[in-house]
Amino acid sequence: MGVLKVIGIGPGSIDNMSIRAKKAIEGSDIIVGYTKYIDMIKELVKDKEVYSTGMMGEEARCREALNLSKDKNVALISTGDSGIYGMAGLILEMKNDEDVEIIPGITASSSAGSVVGAPLMHDNCNISLSDLMTSYEDIKKRVRLAAEGDFIISLYNPRSKGRDKYLKECIDIIREFRKDNTPVAVVRNALRDDESYKLFEIKDFDDSIVDMMSIVIVGNSKSFLKDGYFITPRGYACKKRDAMK
Protein backbone atom coordinates (compact mmCIF):
# COMPACT_ATOMS: atom_id res chain seq x y z
CA MET A 1 0.00 0.00 0.00
CA GLY A 2 1.24 3.45 -0.92
CA VAL A 3 0.81 6.90 0.59
CA LEU A 4 -1.04 9.85 -0.90
CA LYS A 5 0.81 13.09 -0.11
CA VAL A 6 -1.25 16.23 -0.67
CA ILE A 7 1.40 18.82 -1.34
CA GLY A 8 1.29 22.61 -1.37
CA ILE A 9 4.18 23.67 -3.58
CA GLY A 10 3.99 27.37 -2.65
CA PRO A 11 3.94 30.10 -5.31
CA GLY A 12 5.11 27.86 -8.13
CA SER A 13 8.89 27.64 -8.25
CA ILE A 14 11.02 24.85 -6.83
CA ASP A 15 12.96 27.43 -4.81
CA ASN A 16 9.96 28.57 -2.78
CA MET A 17 8.77 25.02 -2.09
CA SER A 18 9.58 23.47 1.29
CA ILE A 19 12.36 20.91 1.45
CA ARG A 20 9.76 18.43 2.72
CA ALA A 21 7.52 19.04 -0.31
CA LYS A 22 10.45 18.54 -2.69
CA LYS A 23 11.48 15.29 -0.99
CA ALA A 24 7.86 14.06 -1.06
CA ILE A 25 7.64 14.67 -4.82
CA GLU A 26 11.00 12.99 -5.39
CA GLY A 27 9.84 9.98 -3.38
CA SER A 28 6.55 9.56 -5.24
CA ASP A 29 5.84 7.20 -8.12
CA ILE A 30 3.00 9.22 -9.62
CA ILE A 31 2.33 12.97 -9.76
CA VAL A 32 -1.29 14.12 -10.00
CA GLY A 33 -2.32 17.72 -10.58
CA TYR A 34 -3.48 20.49 -12.85
CA THR A 35 -1.33 20.67 -15.99
CA LYS A 36 -0.22 24.26 -15.44
CA TYR A 37 1.07 23.59 -11.91
CA ILE A 38 2.94 20.45 -12.91
CA ASP A 39 4.64 22.47 -15.67
CA MET A 40 5.98 24.85 -13.01
CA ILE A 41 7.99 22.06 -11.40
CA LYS A 42 8.74 20.00 -14.50
CA GLU A 43 12.44 19.57 -13.64
CA LEU A 44 11.38 17.67 -10.52
CA VAL A 45 8.88 15.35 -12.19
CA LYS A 46 10.55 14.56 -15.50
CA ASP A 47 11.15 10.89 -14.67
CA LYS A 48 7.75 10.37 -13.03
CA GLU A 49 4.45 9.04 -14.21
CA VAL A 50 2.17 12.10 -14.45
CA TYR A 51 -1.62 12.17 -14.27
CA SER A 52 -2.39 15.70 -15.33
CA THR A 53 -5.81 17.21 -15.95
CA GLY A 54 -7.44 20.53 -16.82
CA MET A 55 -8.81 22.92 -14.19
CA MET A 56 -12.20 21.24 -13.97
CA GLY A 57 -12.75 17.75 -12.67
CA GLU A 58 -11.19 18.23 -9.23
CA GLU A 59 -13.32 15.53 -7.75
CA ALA A 60 -12.37 13.02 -10.45
CA ARG A 61 -8.72 13.94 -9.89
CA CYS A 62 -9.04 13.36 -6.14
CA ARG A 63 -10.74 10.02 -6.66
CA GLU A 64 -8.00 8.94 -9.06
CA ALA A 65 -5.28 10.04 -6.63
CA LEU A 66 -6.89 8.06 -3.80
CA ASN A 67 -7.27 4.96 -6.01
CA LEU A 68 -3.71 5.13 -7.31
CA SER A 69 -2.37 5.40 -3.74
CA LYS A 70 -3.59 1.90 -2.96
CA ASP A 71 -0.62 0.52 -4.92
CA LYS A 72 1.83 3.38 -5.31
CA ASN A 73 3.14 6.53 -3.67
CA VAL A 74 1.21 9.45 -5.09
CA ALA A 75 1.93 13.20 -4.91
CA LEU A 76 -1.14 15.38 -5.43
CA ILE A 77 0.02 18.93 -6.24
CA SER A 78 -1.64 22.26 -5.34
CA THR A 79 -0.03 25.68 -5.62
CA GLY A 80 0.17 27.76 -2.46
CA ASP A 81 -0.85 25.86 0.67
CA SER A 82 -2.67 22.60 -0.06
CA GLY A 83 -4.85 23.41 2.97
CA ILE A 84 -6.03 26.90 1.86
CA TYR A 85 -8.37 26.75 -1.18
CA GLY A 86 -6.30 23.65 -2.15
CA MET A 87 -6.95 19.91 -2.45
CA ALA A 88 -6.48 18.79 1.17
CA GLY A 89 -10.12 19.21 2.18
CA LEU A 90 -11.64 17.31 -0.71
CA ILE A 91 -9.19 14.44 -0.26
CA LEU A 92 -10.00 14.11 3.45
CA GLU A 93 -13.74 14.32 2.71
CA MET A 94 -13.48 11.51 0.14
CA LYS A 95 -10.88 9.37 1.92
CA ASN A 96 -11.70 5.95 3.36
CA ASP A 97 -8.78 3.82 4.54
CA GLU A 98 -6.10 5.29 2.28
CA ASP A 99 -2.94 6.63 3.94
CA VAL A 100 -2.91 10.42 3.47
CA GLU A 101 -0.36 13.06 4.51
CA ILE A 102 -1.01 16.81 4.22
CA ILE A 103 2.10 18.89 3.41
CA PRO A 104 1.60 22.65 3.77
CA GLY A 105 3.15 25.33 1.57
CA ILE A 106 3.50 29.10 1.45
CA THR A 107 0.04 30.49 0.68
CA ALA A 108 -0.46 33.07 -2.09
CA SER A 109 -1.05 36.04 0.22
CA SER A 110 2.31 35.43 1.93
CA SER A 111 4.08 35.22 -1.44
CA ALA A 112 2.36 38.32 -2.78
CA GLY A 113 2.98 40.21 0.45
CA SER A 114 6.71 39.52 0.33
CA VAL A 115 6.92 41.04 -3.16
CA VAL A 116 5.55 44.45 -2.12
CA GLY A 117 7.01 44.75 1.40
CA ALA A 118 5.29 43.76 4.64
CA PRO A 119 1.55 44.36 4.25
CA LEU A 120 0.34 41.40 6.38
CA MET A 121 2.13 42.22 9.62
CA HIS A 122 -1.03 42.42 11.74
CA ASP A 123 -4.39 40.60 11.86
CA ASN A 124 -5.28 39.60 8.33
CA CYS A 125 -7.75 37.54 6.32
CA ASN A 126 -7.98 35.69 3.04
CA ILE A 127 -11.22 35.97 1.03
CA SER A 128 -11.87 34.31 -2.33
CA LEU A 129 -14.04 36.27 -4.75
CA SER A 130 -14.93 33.09 -6.64
CA ASP A 131 -18.69 32.56 -6.54
CA LEU A 132 -18.31 28.92 -7.56
CA MET A 133 -17.99 28.09 -3.87
CA THR A 134 -19.89 30.91 -2.10
CA SER A 135 -22.77 33.18 -3.06
CA TYR A 136 -21.80 36.73 -3.99
CA GLU A 137 -24.07 38.05 -1.24
CA ASP A 138 -22.07 36.06 1.34
CA ILE A 139 -18.80 37.26 -0.18
CA LYS A 140 -19.85 40.91 0.09
CA LYS A 141 -21.04 40.44 3.67
CA ARG A 142 -17.69 38.90 4.58
CA VAL A 143 -15.74 41.69 2.87
CA ARG A 144 -17.77 44.30 4.76
CA LEU A 145 -17.22 42.66 8.16
CA ALA A 146 -13.50 42.22 7.49
CA ALA A 147 -13.24 45.89 6.51
CA GLU A 148 -15.16 46.96 9.63
CA GLY A 149 -12.84 44.75 11.73
CA ASP A 150 -9.82 46.58 10.29
CA PHE A 151 -8.28 43.38 8.93
CA ILE A 152 -5.67 43.51 6.20
CA ILE A 153 -7.61 41.80 3.39
CA SER A 154 -6.07 39.51 0.75
CA LEU A 155 -8.42 38.78 -2.14
CA TYR A 156 -7.87 35.44 -3.92
CA ASN A 157 -9.32 34.74 -7.38
CA PRO A 158 -10.04 38.46 -7.61
CA ARG A 159 -11.41 38.73 -11.13
CA SER A 160 -12.59 36.58 -14.02
CA LYS A 161 -14.66 37.23 -17.13
CA GLY A 162 -17.88 35.95 -15.61
CA ARG A 163 -17.68 38.27 -12.58
CA ASP A 164 -15.99 41.31 -13.92
CA LYS A 165 -17.44 43.80 -11.42
CA TYR A 166 -17.04 41.94 -8.10
CA LEU A 167 -13.56 43.26 -7.36
CA LYS A 168 -14.44 46.90 -7.97
CA GLU A 169 -17.59 46.55 -5.87
CA CYS A 170 -15.71 44.87 -3.02
CA ILE A 171 -12.99 47.53 -3.04
CA ASP A 172 -15.78 50.15 -2.84
CA ILE A 173 -17.20 48.36 0.22
CA ILE A 174 -13.79 48.33 1.92
CA ARG A 175 -13.31 52.01 1.06
CA GLU A 176 -16.28 52.93 3.26
CA PHE A 177 -14.09 51.90 6.23
CA ARG A 178 -10.69 53.18 5.09
CA LYS A 179 -8.87 56.45 4.45
CA ASP A 180 -8.37 57.52 0.81
CA ASN A 181 -4.64 56.82 0.99
CA THR A 182 -4.94 53.19 2.20
CA PRO A 183 -2.46 51.12 0.18
CA VAL A 184 -3.71 48.47 -2.24
CA ALA A 185 -1.33 46.04 -3.97
CA VAL A 186 -2.01 44.01 -7.07
CA VAL A 187 0.58 41.24 -7.37
CA ARG A 188 0.49 39.06 -10.47
CA ASN A 189 2.37 35.74 -10.62
CA ALA A 190 4.09 36.42 -7.28
CA LEU A 191 7.55 34.79 -7.08
CA ARG A 192 7.24 33.32 -10.57
CA ASP A 193 9.33 34.24 -13.61
CA ASP A 194 6.80 36.69 -14.99
CA GLU A 195 6.02 38.41 -11.67
CA SER A 196 4.68 41.96 -11.77
CA TYR A 197 2.98 44.24 -9.28
CA LYS A 198 1.45 47.64 -8.87
CA LEU A 199 0.74 49.72 -5.77
CA PHE A 200 -2.20 52.12 -5.45
CA GLU A 201 -3.86 54.35 -2.94
CA ILE A 202 -7.37 52.97 -2.60
CA LYS A 203 -8.93 56.14 -4.01
CA ASP A 204 -7.08 55.56 -7.32
CA PHE A 205 -7.48 51.78 -7.51
CA ASP A 206 -7.71 50.49 -11.08
CA ASP A 207 -8.90 46.91 -11.51
CA SER A 208 -8.07 46.66 -15.22
CA ILE A 209 -4.69 45.04 -14.58
CA VAL A 210 -6.13 42.33 -12.30
CA ASP A 211 -6.68 38.77 -13.52
CA MET A 212 -7.00 35.28 -12.01
CA MET A 213 -3.22 35.01 -11.56
CA SER A 214 -3.29 38.06 -9.25
CA ILE A 215 -3.71 38.57 -5.54
CA VAL A 216 -5.06 41.91 -4.31
CA ILE A 217 -4.04 43.08 -0.82
CA VAL A 218 -5.79 45.99 0.92
CA GLY A 219 -4.15 47.49 4.00
CA ASN A 220 -5.70 48.20 7.39
CA SER A 221 -6.21 51.68 8.88
CA LYS A 222 -2.51 51.94 9.82
CA SER A 223 -0.91 50.65 6.61
CA PHE A 224 1.22 53.07 4.61
CA LEU A 225 3.51 53.34 1.60
CA LYS A 226 7.18 54.18 2.15
CA ASP A 227 9.78 54.32 -0.63
CA GLY A 228 7.85 51.86 -2.78
CA TYR A 229 7.10 49.44 0.07
CA PHE A 230 3.65 48.56 1.40
CA ILE A 231 4.03 48.35 5.20
CA THR A 232 1.58 47.58 7.98
CA PRO A 233 2.98 48.33 11.42
CA ARG A 234 2.29 45.86 14.19
CA GLY A 235 0.42 48.38 16.35
CA TYR A 236 1.37 49.93 19.67
CA ALA A 237 5.09 49.36 19.10
CA CYS A 238 4.99 51.79 16.22
CA LYS A 239 3.13 54.42 18.23
CA LYS A 240 5.63 54.03 21.04
CA ARG A 241 8.50 54.59 18.63
CA ASP A 242 6.80 57.69 17.29
CA ALA A 243 6.38 59.04 20.81
CA MET A 244 10.07 58.45 21.54
CA LYS A 245 11.34 60.37 18.52
Restricting to residues 185-244, which ones interact with a copy of itself according to CB under 8 A? Answer: 226-227, 229, 231-238, 241
Do the Cβ atoms of 214 and 193 come closer than 8 Å? no
DSSP category for residue 245: -
Residue 87 C-beta: closest distance to a copy of itself, Å: 9
Q: Which of 25, 40, 81, 157 binds a copy of itself (CB under 8 A)?
A: 81
DSSP category for residue 45: H
Q: Which of residues 117-136 bind a copy of itself (CB under 8 A)?
A: 117-128, 132-134
Sheet holding 30-34, edge to edge: 49-53, 30-34, 74-78, 3-8, 99-103
- Under rule CB under 8 A, residue 105 binds a copy of itself: yes
- Residue (127 or 210) nearer to a copy of itself, CB: 127
Residue 194 C-beta: closest distance to a copy of itself, Å: 18
Q: Which of 48, 63, 142, 198 binds a copy of itself (CB under 8 A)?
A: 142
* 92 alpha-carbon distance from chain centroid: 20
- Under rule CB under 8 A, residue 75 binds a copy of itself: no
- Under rule CB under 8 A, residue 56 binds a copy of itself: no
Distance (Å) of CA 128 to CA 68, 107, 158: 31, 13, 7
Query: Rounded distance, CA 57 to CA 59, Å?
Result: 5
- Under rule CB under 8 A, residue 140 binds a copy of itself: no
Q: Which of residues 151-190 bind a copy of itself (CB under 8 A)?
A: 151
- Residue (1 or 60) nearer to a copy of itself, CB: 60
Do the Cβ atoms of 36 and 54 come closer than 8 Å? no
